[in-house]
Amino acid sequence: VEKKDFLGGHALKLNHTWRGELIKPYVDDLVARVTGHPQIEVHLNAEVTDVQGFVGNFNSTVASGGRETVVPHGAAVIAIGAHSYKPQEYLYKENPKVMLALEMDQALREHHPLVTAAKCAAFIQCVGSREPERPYCSRVCCTHSVESAIRLKELNPDMDVYILYRDLRTYGLRENLYKEAREKGVIFIRFQADGKPRVAQTADGGLQVTVHDLILGIPVTIRPDVLTLASAIVVKDQEKLAQMFKVPLNHEGFFLEAHMKLRPVDFATEGVFVAGLAHYPKPLDEAIAQAKAAAARAAVVLCQESIKAGGVVASIDPAQCSGCQACVGVCPFGAIDYKEPEDVCEVNQALCKGCGTCAGNCPSECITLLGFSNQQIYTQIDQALADLKLDAEAAG
Amino acid sequence: MTDNEFEPTIIAFCCNWCSYAGADLAGVSRIQYPPNGRIVRVMCSGMVHPNLVINALTKGADGVLMCGCHLGECHYQEGNKKALGRAEGLDLMLEDFGLEPERFRLEWISSSEAQRFAEVMAEMTETLRALGPSPYNTRG
C-alpha cells in the first residue's frame, strides 16, 4: 500500500550510499520485481483507513481514488518512512541558494549551475534536530553532508567548502569519509546550541553566514554561493495508523518496537512489524537490513497453518459474569467482547496477551488469568504468611 | 529475628516483565537488602485485584508493595496506569480498614533497576518497623 503514485519513496531522491553504491538501479530492480511478482498486489495512491482482526486474520480497508477495498492479510509491516523537517530558519524558501540535503543531492545529480558554478559552499548541521521540541539526533545528516562536501570538492577542488556543526558523528567506517573530507580541504567549524549561525541576505541577493568559531573564539563570516541545511528527519501522519494497529509510538512520534534488543522489528501487538525511517532515523543500509528482518518475522506468521494462543490467557466464567463490561473497557488489546443475548463478556483468546488487567478489574472476580488465578495468588499470600506463623511459634 | 525488634512482613506483587526481573537482578547481583519481602509474581501490576491487596493486609501482612514497569513502558501498553488508578482507590480502602497509608506502596521498578528494588525494600521495611505491627497481625 503506497501513498504516492510510485514505489521507491525517499530512496529515489538519494544518489548513492555512503559506500558509493548507486541507489537508483537497486531501487528500480526492486520495484520491477515487486510489480512483476504474481503474489504481490500493489495499491498506489492508497491509504489504510481501517484495520480489524488480529494476527493471522487481519482485514484492512484500503482506500484508493475514492474506492475502498477490504484486504484480508495475516501480518502487516509498517514502513511508512519519514519526512525532512522544513526549516523556518536560515532563510530556507526565502533565498534560492538555501537548500535541504536532498535538494543538494538533486542539484548534484542534475549538475545544477548553482552548484557547478559555486566558489564557496556551506553546510549547517542539526537544523531542527537536537532541539527541545525534537531532542533526537537524525543520524544520517553528518555522513550525508560530509559525503556531499566531498562530491563538491571533486567537482571543483578550488571550491571553499565549510561544514558548520554541533557534534559530528560519521559513525562506524564512515569515519573514513570524514578523514577524506579533511584531506580534501573541507573546513569544519563547530558551534553551540546557544550560538547558532546567523544567515543574512546581502543587497545583491547573496548569502552571509556568521558563526562564532569555538576554537578561534571569534565570529567568522562566510559568503557561500550555496547553503545546504541538514534538516531533521520527522515522522508525520503516523498516529492514526498506530491507533488502527494498536501499536505504540515513542515520545518523538516514531514507532516503538516491542523490545530494543530482543524483539527489534516486532510490536507488542502480534503480527505487526516495523521497518525503516518510521522506526527512527537511519541510513539506507540499516533500513534494508531491518526491512529484511521484518519480512522474515512476518513470514514466520504467514507460513503457519494455525496459530496457537499463548498459555497465559484470560477466561471469563459465564456463570458468575454479571455483564457489567468493566473488563471490556480496560483491555488494551480489544480482546473482550460483550455478548448481548447472554449478558456476559467473552475473551477472544487469540487476541488476549495475558496481562490480566481484566482480572484485576472484575468486581465479581470471575475472570481467571490461566496460571495466575486470584485463587492461586490468595493461596500464595496465605502460604507466605503461614510460614511466618510457624516460625513465630517455633521461636516461642 | 531479635526479640526486641519488630520485623515486618511485606507481600510484594512484582510484574513479570520489569519488577520481578529487577528483583531477580538484585539477587543475582548480590545486593544486600532486608529479607522481609515475600514476592508474588504477577504478569502485570494491572492484574492485581484490590481484593488481593486487602486480603494480604487483613491476613496479617504488615505491608503490601506493588511494583510495575515505569509508566509508558508497560509490556501490555498501559496496565501500570490501571494499577495507578486502583492504588488511589486502595488508599481510601486502607482508611476504611483502619490501616495507615504507609502500609501500601506502589513503585515503578524496571528490570535493570536492581538497586532501586533493594532501596525500596529497605525503605519500606524501615517505615514499617517504625510504624509497628499491623492491627491484623496476630503472630505477636
- Could you tell me if A168 and A178 are in contact, meaning their C-beta atoms sit under 8 angstroms apart? yes
What is the rounded CA–CA span in Å between residue A38 and residue A46?
Answer: 20
- Could you tell me if A269 and A245 are in contact, meaning their C-beta atoms sit under 8 angstroms apart? yes
User: Across residues A365-393, what is the average pLDDT?
Assistant: 86
Is A387's pLDDT higher than 80? no
What is the rounded CA–CA span in Å between residue A151 and residue A108?
Answer: 8
Q: What angle do CA A381, A385, A391 make, to 5 degrees?
A: 155
Question: Quick one: cell of A98?
Answer: 538555501
The minimal CB distance from B9 to the residues A268, A372, A385 is found for: A385
- Band of residue B4 on the pLDDT scale cut at 50, 70, 90: low
Angle, to 10 degrees, between the axis of helix B50-58 and the axis of helix B79-96?
A: 40
Q: B139 and chain A: CB distance < 8 Å anywhere?
A: yes
Is A332's pLDDT higher than 60? yes
Is A77's pLDDT higher than 90? yes
User: Across residues A173-197, what is the average pLDDT?
Assistant: 94
Is A149's pLDDT higher than 90? yes
Q: What is the pLDDT of residues B114-123, one digit of tens each?
A: 899 999 999 9
The percentage of chain A sitting over the pLDDT mark of 90, rounded to a whole number, equals: 76
Q: What is the pLDDT of residues A259-315, one digit of tens each?
A: 778 889 998 778 999 999 999 999 999 999 999 999 999 999 999 888 776 678 899
Is A54's pLDDT higher than 90? no
Q: In terms of CA atoms, which chain A residue is nearest residue B138?
A: A389
- Band of residue A256 on the pLDDT scale cut at 50, 70, 90: confident
Best probe of the B interface among A251, A355, A358, A378, by most B CBs < 10 A, is: A355
User: Across residues A39-64, what is the average pLDDT?
Assistant: 91
Is A353's pLDDT higher than 70? yes
Q: Which residues contact A259 (CB under 8 A, 6 or more apart)?
A: A266
Q: To which H or E segment does residue B57 belong?
A: helix B50-58
The percentage of chain B sitting over the pLDDT mark of 70, rounded to a whole number, equals: 96
The percentage of chain A sitting over the pLDDT mark of 70, rounded to a whole number, equals: 98
When the pLDDT of each residue in chain A is averaged and rounded to a whole number, the result is 91
Q: To which H or E segment does residue A110 belong?
A: none
CA dist A79 → A29, A256, A280, A322, B4 (Å): 19, 12, 11, 43, 65
Amino acid identity for residue B106 in this structure: L
pLDDT of residue A349: 84
Best probe of the B interface among A256, A328, A385, A387, by most B CBs < 10 A, is: A385
Candidate from A13-17, A390-394, B4-8, B14-18 with smallest mean pLDDT:
A390-394
- Band of residue A73 on the pLDDT scale cut at 50, 70, 90: very high
Residues on chain A touching B5 (C-beta within 8 angstroms):
none
The minimal CB distance from A381 to the residues B43, B56, B79 is found for: B56
ipTM: 0.91
Q: Each residue of A306-331: b (16+ CB within 10 Å) or e? A: eeeeeebbbbbeeeebeeeebbbebb
Question: Quick one: cell of A194?
Answer: 546557544
Beta bridge partners of A189: A164
User: Across residues B4-11, what is the average pLDDT?
Assistant: 86
- Could you tell me if A60 and A70 are in contact, meaning their C-beta atoms sit under 8 angstroms apart? yes
Q: Which residues contact A205 (CB under 8 A, 6 or more apart)?
A: A95
pLDDT of residue A55: 84
- Could you tell me if A189 and A182 are in contact, meaning their C-beta atoms sit under 8 angstroms apart? no
Beta bridge partners of A57: A54
Q: Which of B9, B111, B24, B100 is nearest to B56 (CA)?
A: B9
What is the rounded CA–CA span in Å between residue A234 and residue A100?
Answer: 14
Q: In terms of CA atoms, which chain B residue is nearest residue A247?
A: B77
pLDDT of residue B44: 93
Higher pLDDT, residue B139 or B17? B17
